[in-house]
Amino acid sequence: MIRIIDKGSFGEVWLGRIQSVEVAVKIPLVAACREDFIREAQKMHAIWHAQLVQFLGVCTKPQEESVLVITEYMPNGALNKHLQTEEGRNLQQIDLLFIMDQVANGTVYLESIKLVHRDLRAANVFVAKDGRVKVGDFGQSKMLSMPSSCPADLKTPIRWSSPEALINGKEVTSKSDVWQYGILWYEVFSYGDVPYEKYSRRGH
Q: What is the pLDDT of residues 12-41, one digit of tens each?
A: 889 999 999 999 998 877 666 666 667 667
| Average pLDDT value for the chain | 84
| Same domain assignment for residues 171 and 85 | yes
> Could you tell me if residue 202 is inside a domain?
no
Bigger pLDDT: 105 vs 55: 105
> Could you tell me if residue 195 is inside a domain?
no
In the prediction, which pLDDT does 149 show? 45
What is the percentage of the chain residues whose pLDDT exceeds 70?
A: 79
> Could you tell me if residue 92 is inside a domain?
yes
> Could you tell me if residue 104 is inside a domain?
yes
> What's the average model confidence in pLDDT over 139-160?
63
Domains contained in the chain, number: 2
| Same domain assignment for residues 151 and 65 | no
CATH of residue 28: 3.30.200.20
In the prediction, which pLDDT does 204 show? 45
| Same domain assignment for residues 119 and 167 | yes
> Could you tell me if residue 12 is inside a domain?
yes
In the prediction, which pLDDT does 173 show? 80
Q: How confident is the model at residue 147 (pLDDT cuts 50, 70, 90)?
A: low
Per-residue pLDDT at 123 exceeds 80: yes
> What's the average model confidence in pLDDT over 95-110?
97
In the prediction, which pLDDT does 201 show? 55
State how beta strands 133-135 and 125-127 pair: antiparallel
Give the whole-angstrom CA distance, residue 119 versus residue 123.
9
In the prediction, which pLDDT does 90 show? 98
- Total-model pTM: 0.84
Q: How confident is the model at residue 68 (pLDDT cuts 50, 70, 90)?
A: confident
| Same domain assignment for residues 83 and 42 | no
| Same domain assignment for residues 108 and 178 | yes
> Which one is catalytic: 36, 95, 119, 177?
119
What is the percentage of the chain residues whose pLDDT exceeds 90?
A: 49
Q: Which of 72, 106, 125 is the last residue of a domain?
A: 72
| Same domain assignment for residues 84 and 180 | yes
124 DSSP 8-state letter: G
| Same domain assignment for residues 51 and 100 | no
> Could you tell me if residue 196 is inside a domain?
no
For this structure, is 119 an active site residue?
Answer: yes
Q: What is the pLDDT of residues 158-201, one digit of tens each?
A: 788 777 777 755 667 888 899 999 999 999 999 999 988 776 55
Q: How confident is the model at residue 144 (pLDDT cuts 50, 70, 90)?
A: confident
> Could you tell me if residue 201 is inside a domain?
no
Round to the nearest angstrom and report the end-to-end CA distance of the chain.
Answer: 35
Q: How many helices, marked H, and strands, marked E, lie in the chain? A: 6, 9
Which residues lie across from 27 on neighbouring strands?
12
Expressed as residue numbers, the domain containing 168 is: 79-189
CATH of residue 182: 1.10.510.10
In the prediction, which pLDDT does 164 show? 74
Distance of CA 126 to the CA centre of its chain: 8
| Same domain assignment for residues 92 and 140 | yes
Q: Which of 47, 72, 97 is the last residue of a domain?
A: 72
| Same domain assignment for residues 174 and 112 | yes
Q: What's the Cα-to-Cα distance from 15 to each of 47, 56, 134, rounded to whole Å?
A: 22, 14, 17
